[in-house]
Amino acid sequence: MNIHNNMNLDTSSSKRKRMARCIPALAAAALAAGCASVPNPNPTDPLESYNRGMYAFNDKVDQVVFKPIAQGYETVTPKPVRTCIHNMFNNLADAWSSINSFLQGRAHDGINSMGRVLFNSTMGLGGCIDVASMNGSKRIVNDFGVTLGVWGFGPGPYIVFPFWGSTTLRDGTASLAGLAADASMYTPIFAIDNVPLRNSIIVLSLIDMRASLLSADKLVNDIALDKYSFIRDAYLQRRQALVEGSHATSRQSLPDYSSDDLPDYSDNGDAPTAPAKPAK
């Protein structure tokens, strides 16, 4: 028992050291990638100049490395195997979601997610088959960033992390702190003593995550005018909806489009004045 605990400590402290070593490299990449000028600064995105640079960098890396790997994985792995792998990682995520639901005081959601984990881990053969969803239980997506949001922390500025992508100050801090403190959905994976096996599972989880985004990726390509803005706004809206939880479409939280229907007093003499239909 003691030995096991020590090993756990060792792995997590070496992990932290490794992360510390990465930080200067990441900062350099960020500096190199940032510094594009932004013609129309957006008040909700104060770091836009850096973010756009990092987004372009991530996109390039994705095109060259991650996306081809994910596509290759989709080609060589039979669909049932991929589904099984995806479900098993979802099962781990559900366990972490359940804990967060309880932390947020959403006991009903917490019990639901816990029920899913118990059901899928047993009847679903270790999470391989998502029997809970087949029986009409919807997954409740949750993490520690959402928990902080429910506790009253605002999202802070939107940040694009190197390799990682969209996050905010709150959500990024929650994720990094969770990894550093070994409290995340990956905790059971990090607890595996066999290092090659553990690392293979982590890599597999990343590939699975990227592969599951391939169709969303295609949709964004089809409909976004500016991919950076589209992804940012979608991310921020989605996170906000998760923090609001089941109240997401209650009256108060619906987007209020009327504010812009107030008279526009901008001093723009040459703008054509059109008899626009008044909005309600």
Partner 1 sequence: MRHTLFSFCTAKFLRLFAAGLLGLGIAGTALADEPVNAKGAPNDFVSAVGNNALAAIKAEPAAKNGDLSKINQLVNQYVLPYVDLEKTTRLAAGRYWRQATPQQQKDLTEAFKGTLIRTYSGALSRVDNVSALTIAPFRGDANADDVVVRSTLSQRNGPPVGVDYRLEKTSDGWKIYDLNVEGIWLIQNYRNQFAEQISQNGIDGLIKALNARNNK
Residue 5's contacts (CB-CB under 8 Å, 6 or more residues apart) are none
Is 9 or 41 the residue whose CB approaches partner 1 more closely? Answer: 41
Among 8, 121, 133, 175, binds partner 1 (CB under 8 A): 133
Is 2 or 273 the residue whose CB approaches partner 1 more closely? Answer: 273
What span, in angstroms and rounded, lies between the C-alpha atoms of 181 and 189?
A: 14
What span, in angstroms and rounded, lies between the C-alpha atoms of 30 and 134?
A: 44
Is 54 or 132 the residue whose CB approaches partner 1 more closely? Answer: 132
The continuous run of DSSP H or E covering 160 comes out as: strand 158-161
What x/- string results for residues 200 through 219 when contact with partner 1 is judged by CB under 8 A? ---------------x---x
In sequence order, the β-bridge partners of residue 161 are 165
Among 37, 40, 75, 252, binds partner 1 (CB under 8 A): 40
Render 124-156 in DSSP notation, one character per residue. Answer: TTTTTS-HHHHTTPPP----HHHHHHHTT----
Is 162 or 165 the residue whose CB approaches partner 1 more closely? Answer: 165
Subset of residues 251 to 280 that bind partner 1, contact rule: CB under 8 A: 251, 254-255, 257, 260-261, 264, 268, 271-277, 279-280
C-alpha R_g of the chain: 22
Query: Does the protein bind partner 1 through residue 249 (CB under 8 A)?
Result: yes
The continuous run of DSSP H or E covering 84 comes out as: helix 79-103
Which positions touch partner 1 (CB under 8 A)? Answer: 39-40, 42, 133, 138-139, 215, 219, 222-226, 229-230, 232-234, 237-238, 240-242, 248-249, 251, 254-255, 257, 260-261, 264, 268, 271-277, 279-280
